[in-house]
Structure 1
């Protein structure tokens, strides 16, 4: 495709003038360093220096030819889309592109940029475009994991580090997709990983989901032991990435958000275990406050801020309201647990040994975590 046609197309995309510019290799190196990317800048990476944005198009012995525009007129998501436009134009006939040692990382990074662009635009059901050159890797059914990682005392994970660790853990080929603007990684694993664990019955699905939880737990422990930091993971049932990858990432992100909000001490957040939390979060704050005011008087609301009471109730509900098992888990006498429950009943009028009251207490616990009360 002719470079002038590409320039005109970009001008229509951004609604502003786009100039063709030639950079010497020395100038290109300066732009790359300004972008804090150094030698990792690839042949499709847009870089910003000062108030100008430069998108590389072609490399020759003389230097780099590309497109330059005002960085203020484009958003981060639009930059990602511009990169996709340029990449698509190259695929239509321009072969002399800038070389990069990490082709797989570059392709997967572009996929992450495309996913984020679709999320920003609210397009959850777009099919992955041909120009990303990833359809051959994303055919069939795959299991999507989302990893959120942060380490305040050390440098963040690199693609090579994490990819090597996960390849070893899953003992097979995976697709690792870094998502832009965050410390999130999408991990796609072939469904064959679950062979031997599937059955047609409901029991079989429970077994599969238990397997998915165990895999998340394994990844969490592996990363914690290797690098420390804070990790959170979510996973979905197997999907077909070509048609549903963006919607899957949206649901995985929502699960991480809800899990971190409602279950502060946990690191694995499964969407099928967060139905009630999703419902509570969707209720307007004013209605949540009205429910709390009607259900739990202000005089007794301190019950749901006491750490011992909260720990007791959370454990009780985790163990399906089993008094004996709860006492064992908390390392207390059964009578001590019954005393705590009687105290809750005295102060709130709610007996958690009654199903109806237990439901109200559970809802109250969740509502207290997300509701601003005056």
Structure 2
């Protein structure tokens, strides 16, 4: 529903233009917003007016107007004065308030619909019925973005995202929890992953500039039908988690670019533990010293190129070979061989995943 503050701002603005005092009273006789004091004398008259068949009436020097929604009286508007000009202004003010109520109700209904759609709480037949009632196109391409800000309940960030996309009537902005903002965005059939990335980076730049807030964004795959929105949302959730584990340096993560990280994320922990025992025996990558770990990471970064790795580490080629030989003796894996390098790389990623699950479950 429309907040009392918005209603107060509305009638304050109308008074500043027309110089006519206005008051809004609910169906219980309580003042919701007013531009003048001493409204007690009108409250009893309002209760009688609500039960009458009249849509407008002059009572005690005021013009009374019913503000309806779906043929039910929501509020009563009072305009001080009995002239024709006051009647016309009161009629216009009542129409303005009624339009506000309808608009906010539709927005609330759409927000509820999108939330239930994301959480998979609707039957297929209900999805199409409600979408038609809310004038939402069911067969357009859409993608779901999850925007995670640094602070929980970041209402400022939510409003900034709404400012960016709310004018586009086919996009929806909502929140299903206290941490994340959800954007369900309509996309063109010609949009590529680069185009989707540009949208994400635009949001990040705007939040950084306007809200001084750092954000991570993940998005799912593009879907063609509204019933698939929940799938794109679940993909975006996975992309956000996988990004935190394996791609922590990236601020934008796409589900379709997760690669092997997506496979590892779906492995059961007992299987991961068994795999690590097979590779490292009783050891763990955590047991390696900082020098060894930095050597391994740099070697992978340079696609197993010994010369380039030694150059970037500012060490002699023979020193690097010695370190790799030492690692081979302790693990049985020679990183200069492609198969062994792949095994070692996957093992490092599995250990990262296990640590993430352990820390997550400890909260």
Aligned to 2:20: none
Kept after mapping to 2: 8 A contact 1:209/1:237: no
Q: 1:361 aligns with which of 337, 344, 347?
A: 344
Tell me the secondary structure at the aligned position of residue 157 of structure 1: helix
Structure-1 separation of matches of 2:208 and 2:295: 28
Provide, for residues 239-278 of structure 1, a one-character-per-residue CA deviation record: whole Å limited to 9, x for no partner.
2241311111111111111221333333222222324223
Q: 1:334 to 1:110 in 2, by over 3 A?
A: farther
Match of 1:186 in 2: 182
- The one of 109, 113, 116 equivalent to 2:115 is 113
Determine the C-alpha separation between the residues in 1 that align with 2:126 and 2:302.
42
- Judge conservation of contact 2:145–2:219 (CA < 8 Å) in 1: yes
Change (3 A) 1:308 1:134: farther
Deviations 1:293-331 (A, max 9, x none): 121033464355x55554554454455445566667x66
Count of aligned pairs: 273
1:296 matched to 2:287 = no
The more displaced of 332-341 and 350-359 is: 332-341
What SS does structure 2 have at the residue aligned with 1:60? strand
1:227 maps onto 2:211 in alignment = yes
* Contact 1:147–1:233 (Cα < 8 Å) also in 2: yes
Q: Secondary structure at the match of 1:232?
A: strand
The equivalences for 1:1-374 within 5 A come to: 24=28, 26=30, 59-61=73-75, 99=101, 102=104, 105-118=107-120, 128-132=127-131, 133-137=133-137, 139-151=139-151, 155-165=154-164, 175-192=171-188, 195=190, 208-299=192-283, 301-303=285-287, 306=289, 309-314=292-297, 316-317=299-300, 320-322=303-305, 332=314, 335=317, 340-371=323-354
Q: Distance in 2 between matches of 1:160 and 1:174?
A: 17
CA shift in 2, pair 1:139/1:284, >3 Å: closer
Q: CA deviation at 1:289?
A: 1.1
Q: Residues of 2 paired with 1:331 and 1:227: CA distance?
A: 40
Pair 165,347 (structure 1): closer, same or farther in 2 beyond 3 Å: farther
Gaps of 5+ in 2: 1-25, 34-68, 78-97, 359-363
Verify the 8 A CA contact 1:341 1:351 in the aligned structure 2: yes
- Could you say if the C-alpha distance between residues 97 and 230 of structure 1 is closer, same or farther in structure 2, counting changes exceeding 3 Å? same
Q: Kindly tell me: are residues 159 and 301 of structure 1, through their superposed partners in 2, closer, same or farther at Cα, counting changes over 3 Å?
A: closer
Q: How far apart, CA to CA, are the structure 1 residues paired with 2:201 and 2:322?
A: 35
* Change beyond 3 A, Cα 1:222–1:62: closer
Between the aligned partners of 1:158 and 1:101, the Cα distance in structure 2 is 23
What's the CA shift for 1:220? 2.6
The answer for the alignment partner of 2:17 in structure 1 is: none
Quick check: which has more Rg, 1 or 2?
Answer: 2
Kept in 1: contact 2:143–2:220 (CA 8 A): yes
RMSD: 4.2
Shift of 1:148: 1.8
Report if the CA contact (8 A) 1:149-1:230 is conserved.
yes
1: distance between equivalents of 2:186 and 2:344?
41
The CA deviation at 1:188 is 3.6
User: Using a 3 Å threshold, how does the CA distance of structure 1 residues 276 and 155 change in structure 2: closer, same or farther?
Assistant: closer
Task: Deviation per CA, 1:179-207: give whole Å up to 9, x if none.
Answer: 32233233344433x74x7xxxxxxxxxx
TM, length-normalised to structure 1 = 0.58
Aligned equivalents of 1:218 and 1:60: distance in 2?
41
* Counterpart-to-counterpart distance in 2, 1:344 and 1:189: 49
Q: Map Cα deviations across residues 134-170 of structure 1 (whole Å, 9 max, x no partner).
A: 5545542234322222326x943354321224579xx
